[in-house]
Amino acid sequence: MSLRSRRVDDPLWKSILEQTFSHFLRFIFPNADAIFDLSKPFDYLDKEFEQLFPPESNGKGVRYVDKLVKVFLKDGSEQFVLCHVEIQSNKGRGDLAERMFRYFYRIWDRYKVPITAIAVLADGNKSYRPGVFTQEFMGTSLRYDFNSYKILHQDESLLRANENPFSVIVLTALMAILNKKVTDEGLKEIKHNLYDEMMKRDMDKGTRQGLYDFLTYYVSFDNEEVLGIFEQEIKTKIGRSNTMGTQEYLLDKAEKKGIQKGKIEGKIEGKIEMLKELGFTIAEIGQKLGLSNGEVEKYFKGA
């Protein structure tokens, strides 16, 4: 089975952007430290964004993640950064530029705050690179330009030479695009290589954990057991037995899966099922969820 049919965990973009946003700004804008006051915390306006743009069906071949973030500048003023990550485009629709403009005017109408917008294109269409929206009629014209960063167009060697931790995120997405037909064993080697790239860079523990989760779970193995093998190999490599593993995002995903069962018992079953799919052992699942090995085994047998 080729990587083309593998699952790509799109929502991980939303969590990794929060975990690495200062690195993201520095990655996109070389003069970020001179413009932004990165000592002040960011305000992630997810709820406000959803009020402006209620979730809509993405059943037309386009998958994307949006983040609206309030940032502070060196002069003390506030601005918004809109980050749009396009995971899979439908070549020929051409509506990304219009959507970016719609984001702009609604955010401006609501907040009257300057906005910089960045579209990160993580799709596999080489010729797909929208960056401007234009409209003209009877002497009235409009042009809206926005930042567009195409992952497929990036130079792998330059990403490897870039010390910014966010370069590992881009490299992970690039490897997913370029290695669609890789085997599970080949994918495992790629993940090991990405882990080694991550360890070369200086970052705090939380950022490192976020990068590890992204490179580990962004593209899934066909055989679930290979994930467990990979994680065990990483544990052996770093010489510790309990450093890596799923974090809040993955446990939240398991929680939601359990809630869908409609009962408290189902919440636990959902978490166990998700952690089992991710390759965790009975002992590791019990440790994470505060259950005995016998209680976890009971759910395993009932599955």
The predicted-structure confidence for 162-179, as pLDDT tens digits, reads as follows 999 999 999 999 998 888
For residue 211, give both structure tokens. Answer: 């990068």
Q: In the chain, count H helices and then E strands.
A: 14, 7
Measured at the alpha carbon of residue 202, what is the angle toward residues 197 and 205, in degrees to the nearest 5?
95
Rounded mean pLDDT of 189-194? 94
Q: Which is more confident, 137 or 247? A: 137
**Strand-strand pairing, 147-150 and 63-72:** unpaired
Write the DSSP symbol of residue 10.
T
Residues in the chain: 303
Does 218 fall in a domain?
A: no
| pLDDT top residue among 27 and 52 | 27
Residues 134 and 29 in one domain: yes
Are the C-beta atoms of residues 216 and 247 closer than 8 Å to each other?
A: no
Domain boundary residue, one of 110, 136, 154? 154
- Strand runs labelled E in 12-123: 43-44, 63-72, 78-88, 115-121
Question: Residue 83 pLDDT more than 60?
Answer: yes
Domain that holds residue 57: 21-154
| Residue-by-residue DSSP string for 238-292 | HT-SSS----HHHHHHHHHHHHTTTSHHHHHHHHHHHHHHTT--HHHHHHHHT--
Within-domain flag for 97: yes
Same domain, 27 and 146: yes
Query: Position 266: which residue type?
Result: G
Instruction: Give dist(CA 72, CA 237) in Å, integer.
Output: 40
pLDDT at 80 (0 to 100)? 87
Output the domain CATH number for residue 252.
Answer: 1.10.10
With respect to residue 200, please indicate whether it lies within any of the assigned structural domains: no
pLDDT for position 294: 77
Identify whether residues 33 and 144 lie together within a single domain.
yes
| Domain total of the chain | 2
Report the range of poorest mean pLDDT among 126-135, 210-219, 242-251. 242-251
Q: Identify the band that residue 243 occupies on the pLDDT scale cut at 50, 70 and 90.
A: very low
The closest alpha carbon to 11, from 80, 48, 43, 58, belongs to 58
Tell me, yes or no, whether 267 lies in a domain: yes
pLDDT of residue 37 exceeding 50, the answer is yes
The answer to whether residue 15 is domain-embedded is: no
How confident is the prediction for the chain on average, in pLDDT?
80
Give the pLDDT mean for 117-143: 89
Please tell me the predicted confidence (pLDDT) of residue 66.
87
CA distance 100 to 83: 10
In a domain, 201, yes or no: no
Give the 3-state secondary structure of residue 219: strand
Q: What is the pLDDT of residue 180?
A: 80
Vertex 154 angle, CA 152 and 156, to 5°: 110
Residue 47 included in any domain = yes
Overall average pLDDT of the 25-43 stretch: 93
More confident residue, 284 or 161: 161
Q: In what order do the strands lie in the sheet with 43-44?
A: 43-44, 63-72, 78-88, 115-121, 147-150
With a cut of 70, say whether residue 142 has pLDDT above it: yes
Count CA atoms closer than 13 A to 237's CA, side-chain side: 12
Tokens of 205: 């523990």
Q: Check whether residue 150 and residue 25 sit in a common domain.
A: yes
Look at 260 and 97; give whichever has higher pLDDT. 97
Boundary-marking domain end, from 154, 181, 207: 154
Select, from the ranges 20-34, 72-86, 225-239, 275-289, the one with the highest average predicted confidence (pLDDT). 20-34
Residue 116 inside a domain? The answer is yes
Last residue of a domain, one of 120, 154, 188: 154
In the structure, what pLDDT confidence band is assigned to residue 266 with cuts at 50, 70 and 90? low
Task: Report the alpha-carbon angle 270-276-279, nearest 5.
Answer: 150
Q: Which two tokens stand for residue 90?
A: 């439908």
Q: Count other C-beta atoms under 10 Å from residue 167's C-beta.
A: 21
Burial of 205 (0-12, 13-18, 19+ CB in 10 A): exposed
